[in-house]
Amino acid sequence: MTTDSVPAQSETFAVSLLLDAQASEKIRSLQKNFSKATGNDSLIKKNAPVHVTLGMFHVAEGQFLELKTLFSDFASALEKKLTLEFGDIDFFKEKVIFLSINKADKSSSAEKGSSFEILKSLNARLHETFLPHFEPGGNRNYIPENFFPHIALALKLTKDQFKKATDGFLVPAIPCAKVTYISLARCHPYEEIMKISLADSLNPEQRHKNMAAIHSTGGKLEVSLRSQLFKFGFRFRKNDKRLTGKPDIVFPHYKAVVFVNGCFWHAHGWKSDESLIRSPLLEEDVLYSLKCDKFRMPTTNPEFWLAKFTRNRKRDLRDIEKLLAEGWRVGVVWECSITGRLRKEKIRSVAEKISLWLEEGYSEIYREF
């Protein structure tokens, strides 16, 4: 992947495994010792917990909900009680010093294969889940064909700093470590977004709590669209609970509503058995959702996601059909039409289309943008 293929307004996020407190404390102490010996504190300044990075990804503006959903799905399917056996101190091109993960199978635990092989497998599974949706981030060392699991001890070393770090420096023994959490974090600057425990399997209540933390679309995109419509002179209500489906934008004067739908959560472009909007007010049945390249069916937990998207699709169609029957015109704005490059121009364009649709009082009673 070249730098040119990264979306203009994107951020880099990392998925990492976090270790138990005892092992983390020993490794953190080792990182501080290297920093003191070399005078290079670039790793310490990051203020990130001790971790093993499984993968890094570029996430475009408007994909944040999708990122958190896929991460939660991936984490819920992980094996619990992972244990890592550490190897030797090693380095990348005399610039990065790291603690390697053992390639030999010395573990007496129930996992099959060495710690190294287990992490390689997790890295491959993570990329299988994320790559249909996001560009790989960081550097090529994190893609499956090049992945080498490790824990960084010192970063961005000059030749002189590397020599100081390796001149007679004694390395204390590091015990094996239990993996306690899987983390999703923004890389620059470091900011933890979600952290899910791997100590025990999540019960239904915990999983529901995690999923509930993933808010519906709206946010900046919906606010930007409403702001543009307001500038055009339209007045509206927001998320009116009195109407079926609690539409995002309600125009009482025009007897019209608009939903702002995230492409992932509403399965934009997914052709299911239930994809037609049927109403005696329509001249003919209308196919719900235009073509979209943003939506991909997750490959992990396919039964869960098939059932989830089927329920979402049936609910969307039911709400639209009921609103039409109640005499409302219905519009649906899809996330992909107002995100990506030239986002401001796209939002203005969609707002102009909505304004024409509203003013043409006897035009289509159902419209997608």
Q: pLDDT per residue over 284-328, tens digit each?
A: 888 888 778 777 777 656 777 788 888 889 999 999 999 999 999
CATH of domain 3-212: 3.90.1140.10
Percent of the chain scored above 70 by pLDDT? 85
The pLDDT of residue 117 is 86
Q: How confident is the model at residue 199 (pLDDT cuts 50, 70, 90)?
A: low
Q: Which helix (H) or strand (E) holds 29?
A: helix 21-38
| Residue 136 amino acid letter | P
pLDDT over 60 (residue 208): no
CA angle 273, 69, 218 (to 5 degrees): 85
Separation CA 276–CA 289 (nearest Å): 9
Q: Who has greater pLDDT, 1 or 39?
A: 39
The pLDDT of residue 113 is 67
Check if 3-212 and 219-368 are the same fold: no
What are 330's strand-pairing partners?
257, 366
The pLDDT of residue 4 is 43
Instruction: Work out the average pLDDT over 53-81.
Output: 84
The pLDDT of residue 37 is 86
pLDDT over 90 (residue 63): no
The pLDDT of residue 217 is 40
Separation CA 369–CA 359 (nearest Å): 16
Nearest to 87 by CA among 117, 111, 127: 117
Q: Which of 58-62, 238-242, 249-253 has the lowest mean pLDDT?
A: 58-62
What sign does the CA torsion over 330, 356, 232, 344 have? positive
Instruction: Work out the average pLDDT over 154-159.
Output: 90
- Mean residue pLDDT of the chain comes to 83
Instruction: Work out the average pLDDT over 15-20.
Output: 95
The pLDDT of residue 275 is 85
CA dihedral 41, 43, 49, 51 (to 10 degrees): -150
The pLDDT of residue 152 is 92
Q: How confident is the model at residue 57 (pLDDT cuts 50, 70, 90)?
A: very high
Instruction: Work out the average pLDDT over 49-63.
Output: 90
Q: What is the pTM of this model?
A: 0.58
Rg of the Cα atoms in the chain: 25
pLDDT over 50 (residue 172): yes
54 near 123, Cβ under 8 Å? yes
Tell me the pLDDT tens digit for each residue of 346-360.
Answer: 999 999 999 999 988
Where do we find the tokens 């770090």? 165
CATH class of 219-368: alpha beta
221 near 261, Cβ under 8 Å? no
Instruction: Work out the average pLDDT over 116-136.
Output: 87
The pLDDT of residue 51 is 95
pLDDT over 70 (residue 88): yes
pLDDT over 50 (residue 53): yes
Complete edge-to-edge strand list for the sheet that includes strand 256-261? 237-238, 249-251, 256-261, 329-334, 366-368
SS3 260: strand
pLDDT over 60 (residue 106): no
The pLDDT of residue 242 is 92
The pair phi, psi for residue 92, each rounded to 5°, is -105, 115
177 near 118, Cβ under 8 Å? no
Instruction: Work out the average pLDDT over 132-154.
Output: 87
pLDDT over 60 (residue 50): yes
The pLDDT of residue 73 is 80
pLDDT over 80 (residue 203): no
The pair phi, psi for residue 107, each rounded to 5°, is -75, 140
Q: Which of 43-52, 109-118, 244-253, 257-266 has the lowest mean pLDDT?
A: 109-118
What sign does the CA torsion over 351, 353, 354, 358 have? positive
Q: How confident is the model at residue 107 (pLDDT cuts 50, 70, 90)?
A: very low
pLDDT over 90 (residue 262): no
Domain edges within the chain: 3-212, 219-368
188 near 181, Cβ under 8 Å? no
pLDDT over 60 (residue 216): no
